[in-house]
Structure formats: structure tokens, C-alpha cells
Amino acid sequence: MNNDKLNALIKRIASEHGIVLTKDDPILMMHTLNEVLLEQNEKAHAELLHKYEAILQESFNQWQTYASKKANALINAHRNNSGRNHDQVTDQHMQLISEKIRIAINHEIRELTRISRQAAIMNLLAAVLVLISIVIVSFTLLQL
């Protein structure tokens, strides 16, 4: 934590709570620890999102390959069976395949969003617990 942020935090605590903290106060250690934990958690979430994005891209590529094979198989079957309504049937099948791919990707994105939201709530709860512990420690020290 740089000096400007630390000084701003000390001033804020002094103005809001009437308590003057020094730079070596153990309470500030909890604040710094909380910031470090939040930074680490943010990095971990970014890494997880990057990995998940790679998985989604790989899945999309597999779906695309599968869709292309299916579409080609449908086209070939259609050519062999009849020449009528070729474009209409092909377009319908391609739309159906595209819709299924879109639904699968949307489902994956919703799941990722749900997981990220849960992680953010857990982080918020952890920050609140740290804040409560700081308040309790401060109150206990004031009572002494």
C-alpha cells in the first residue's frame, strides 16, 4: 500500500471514528491483508475466466466442426435423395444447428456468470468478516 493511500485511510478513520492510527498500527495490517487477498482473488478469477474462455473456444470449435460435418452430410444426403427444395432444407438444418450451438454457448456463459457472481459474493463476505474483526479488535483495544 503506498503512502498516499495509507495516509488517506488514516485520515478517514480519524475523521469518521475519532481514532488516530499510526502507520505501524496493527489494525492497518488487517486492511493491507484484506487488500492483498482481494488482489490475489481478482488475479485468480481472471485466470479462471481466461481458462474458461479457452475451454469455451475449444468447445465452440468442436461444435463448429461437428456442425460442418453434419451440414455436409445433410447436403450430400439431400443431393442423393432429391434435388427439390435443396436450399430450403439446407437452410433450415443450418439454422437448427446454429441455434443449438448458440443455446449451448449461452448456457455455458450463464453458468460462468453464476459461478463468478457466487465468487464475488464470497469475496464480499470475506471482506465484511475482516472488517468486523478489525472493529472488534479496535473496540477491545479501546476497552483496555
Per-domain boundaries in the chain: 3-137
pLDDT at 102: 82
DSSP type of residue 54: H
Residue type, 115: I
- CA-CA distances (angstroms) from residue 6 to 13, 120, 137? 11, 25, 19
pLDDT at 40: 92
- The per-residue pLDDT string of the chain (144 residues; one tens digit each, 9 = 90 and over) reads 578 888 888 898 889 888 888 888 888 888 888 888 888 999 999 998 898 888 888 888 888 888 888 888 888 877 776 655 667 777 888 888 888 888 888 888 888 888 888 888 888 888 888 888 888 888 888 887
Whole-model pTM: value is 0.43
pLDDT at 85: 62
**Other residues' Cβ atoms within 10 Å of the Cβ of residue 126:** 14
CB 13 within 8 A of CB 19: yes
Of 134, 108, 8, 97, give the one whose Cα is nearest residue 53. 108
Q: Show the cell assigned to 99.
A: 441455434
CB 105 within 8 A of CB 60: yes
